[in-house]
Structure 1
Amino acid sequence: MPGFFSWISGLFNSTQSVPQAASETRLFNPSSTSQPGSSNDEGDIVGQLEDHLFTWLLDVEPARLRAGTDSGEKELAELERRLQMNEMEELPRKPGSLPMLMRALSNEATERKELTRIILSDPSLTDQLLQVANSPYFRPSEHVIESVDQAVFVLGVDGIRNVIAAAVMRPMMAARNSREALFAQRSWRWGLTCARAAEMIAKIHRDDTSAHFMVGLLPALAYITIRRELGRIYRTRGSGSEPEPALLRLALARYQWATCQLLANVWTLPPKYHAWLLSAERPAPRQAHSALTDGLLLGTREVLRHARQRNLSEENLIRIVHLSPEQLGRVRTVLLRMLQEGKSSQVRT
């Protein structure tokens, strides 16, 4: 049970040991239900969605993801060892201002001036925040946001929380070279969409919206981290410059949740983040989907639909996401507008 021990370990010490990952893991994990056959049906549906996601992220034909991976087992074993021993060289370090920001954002009494002061104390965060706040994913109008104080005023405390989370993570996911450019770009778009979906679904459930936005970004950050770590292992061992898509897909699927837990632990995120990750990885029998799980499902489906990729039918979407038709329509409208504006911005630039 990869997530459980990672979570418990993270609560008591700063050096995490990630137990051996299961050979078959998924991003989407339906819980068993009382209706015979329904769990298997849902498992098949979400398995197809995950396959479509990897085909798009890795920009390959589906057949290439089904190729043999025996030649890369030693590299996978080294990746697993690094996760177990907390020796991931590509794991993003905790941003220096994150603890102070987490405390401020979790306190409902935090005032605008205090938030502005904390942000301005980190010049790199200030630059990133203004870039993110002016992106089509967050800017509420055509007017340019020119200062941190203006951003906090225009977006409000709730809005600025999500901008801060995105601003903290964006530099870690920026492409370092042409080889990872497309993967990084698509992972970021996918992560933002899933995070926004998780945030909106959390609002429907009257849960913590800004925390769900941040935890919704972690799988995308885990993906770029795993890709870089496996690439580093390949180069160090002289195995080639890049792992084959099938092996990379296996690494992403096998270690995505362990890497998310490790990120949450190293960054000393609150225990509820570990609990949400665990619930998404190992849902209890007959447990309703969490906001994170439904956010990942809906965000993935809408990103693929907008990119004109192979996808799920409308009927299957309704079956796997635990939202009413009215709630589903509300969330999808926001996601579609965000994706359309993001694409229009890329075309203009």
Structure 2
Amino acid sequence: MPGFFSWIAGFFTKATPAVTPQGQLHDSEETIQAPPPSENTRSLRVLLEENLFCWLLDAAPSKLYATTSPANPMLEELDSRLKNNKMRELPRQPMTLPMLIQALSDESGDRKKLSRIILEDPALTDQLLHVANSPYFRTGEHTIESVDQAVFVLGMDGIRKVIAAALVRPMIAPRNSREALFSKRTWRWGLTCARATEFIAMLDGADASAHFTVGLLPALSYITLHRELHKIWKEQHADSEPDTALIYEALTRYQWSTSRLIAHEWGLPTRYRAFLRQAERPEPGQHLTALTDGILLGSREVLRHANQRNLPEEDLQKALHLTPDQLRQARTILKAALSESAGA
């Protein structure tokens, strides 16, 4: 199952390149796979993926594995919509996004111009102030009361992250009681993964704010797929809901492709989409990217804070490319934000 955690099985067992009779290597997709993962690597996947989805979907493990045919017509329709760009629930590009990207890319850092763009969108202004004062972004005890103040206090790098979260947050907000818990937990997971991705990118000397934005896309892909599948189901089963196993299969099968489609449709910079490709299909011998590390660390900390089964400390350290001190720093940041937001 090509989910966000599918790389774990290959982390300890590398694939062996296939060789043609002429001695030429096949493409990476045609490699002979290494022996089946050991029980230890399988358990890592279970600890992460299974327990994350049990929490997100508020379901027992047995509910995730009810029989779902690979040729399920609901999944086939979902696959067709993705491939033909006919997703009805795909979030539309925010109207101000192109102008915001241009303003944020301006090396002169014109704060007044950026403030004007934000203020022209009242909904974005409200969301930005809400997000800027949340535990994930607050930089002090004083409340940020205006856009100008937010830009000044947070700086250009800080405001980039707040804008990204402010644009995505309304799209993940629940539309009805059925998806209330799922959307709330998905947003919490997405923010935590984005913060972890940002921190690790900063350690790597990479673009931290760009990685933060990309780190939000997996959560947006989950809510998009959840809604699309429910829409497909309702077209044929008006009086019932898709079962948990079908939702789980859809989310894990199409999460990467949906993340990439959102990035493409929103016209995000090429490097953002490159981060997704590198995380989805890492080069042989390449250490994990900031995004894969961030998803792993963010998922583990969210589950830990929610008192769910999660990844043991020694396995977490083994899977990440962080030093023990860097891991402690990252966990301190995430734990503080999770604790404060729980009581907010």
TM-score of the superposed pair, with normalisation by structure 2: 0.89
Tell me, in whole angstroms, the C-alpha distance in 1 between the residues paired with 2:214 and 2:240.
Answer: 31
Q: Deviations over 1:61-101 (max 9, x none)?
A: 00111111239811111111110110100000000110111
* 1:343 aligned residue: 342
Q: Confirm or deny that 1:25 pairs with 2:18.
A: no
Tell me if 1:145 matches 2:144. Answer: yes
1:218 aligns with 2:213: no
1:261-296 Cα deviation digits (max 9, x unpaired) = 100110011111221111111112111011001000
Structure-2 separation of matches of 1:234 and 1:38? 35
Asked if structure 1 preserves the Cα contact closer than 8 Å seen for 2:301 and 2:334, the reply is yes
- State the AA in 1 paired with 2:167: V
Identical aligned pairs, as a percentage? 57
1:237 counterpart letter in structure 2: Q
Aligned residues, how many?
A: 322
Q: Partner of 1:205 in structure 2?
A: 204
Aligned amino acid, residue 162 of structure 1: K
- Residue 283 and residue 206 in structure 1: after superposition, are their counterparts in 2 closer, same or farther (change >3 A)? same
In the alignment, which residue of structure 2 is the partner of 1:194? Answer: 193
Letter of the 1:199 counterpart? E
Q: 2: distance between equivalents of 1:47 and 1:287?
A: 23
* Cross-structure match for 1:334: 333
Which residue matches 2:288?
Answer: 289
Q: 1:108 deviation in Å?
A: 3.4
Instruction: Letter of the 1:86 partner, please give it.
Output: N
State the Cα distance separating 1:175 from its structure 2 match.
0.2
The equivalent of 1:84 in structure 2 is 83
- 1:170 is displaced (CA, Å) by 0.6
What CA distance in whole angstroms lies between the structure 2 residues aligned with 1:265 and 1:63? 36
Aligned ranges 1:155-174 → 2 under 5 Å: 155-174=154-173
Indicate the SS of the match to 1:96: coil
Partner of 2:118: 119
* 8 Å contact from structure 2 (residues 12, 41) kept in 1: no
- Confirm whether residue 228 of structure 1 aligns to residue 205 of structure 2: no
- Name the structure 2 match of 1:250: 249
Counterpart of 1:89, as a letter, is R
Change (3 A) 1:327 1:75: same
Between structure 1 and structure 2, the one with the greater Rg is 2
Report the AA paired with residue 27 of structure 1: F
CA contact (8 A) 2:11 2:319 kept: no
The separation in 1 between residues aligned to 2:108 and 2:36, in whole angstroms, is 45
Closer, same or farther: CA 236–34 of 1 in aligned 2, 3 Å: closer
Distance 2:315 2:12 in 1: 17
Report 1:41-80 matches (<5 A): 41-42=40-41, 44-70=43-69, 73-80=72-79
Q: Which residue of 1 aligns with 2:26?
A: none
Separation in 2, partners of 1:256, 1:95: 21
Post-superposition shift, 1:38?
Answer: 11
Contact 1:200 1:331 in 2 (8 A): yes
Q: Whose relative contact order is higher, 1 or 2, with alpha carbons under 8 Å and at least 6 apart? A: 1
CA distances 1:289-328 after superposition (whole Å, capped 9, x unpaired): 1100100000000000000001111011011111110111
Task: Decide whether aligned partners of structure 1 residues 55 and 72 sit closer, same or farther in structure 2, where only a CA change above 3 A counts.
Answer: farther
SS in structure 1 at match of 2:343: helix
- In the alignment, the residues of structure 1 paired with residue 209 and residue 91 of structure 2 have an alpha-carbon distance, to the nearest angstrom, of 21
Structure 2: which 5+ residue stretches go unaligned?
A: 15-33
**Matches of 1:49 and 1:34, distance apart in 2:** 18
Deviates most, 95-104 or 43-52: 43-52
Q: Which amino acid aligns with 1:340?
A: S
Partner amino acid for 2:304? R
Q: Which range is displaced more, 259-268 or 106-115?
A: 106-115
Contact 1:33 1:285 in 2 (8 A): no
Q: Structure 1 CA distance, aligned partners of 2:13 and 2:66?
A: 36
CA distance in 2, matches of 1:56, 1:70: 24
Between stretches 283-292 and 208-217, larger displacement belongs to 283-292
Query: Cα RMSD between the aligned structures?
Result: 1.9
1:135 aligned partner:
134
Describe the shift of the 1:38–1:327 C-alpha distance in structure 2 as closer, same or farther (beyond 3 A). farther
Q: 1:316 to 1:47 in 2, by over 3 A?
A: same
1:203-245 Cα shifts (integer Å, max 9, x gaps): 0001001100000000000000000000001111126442111
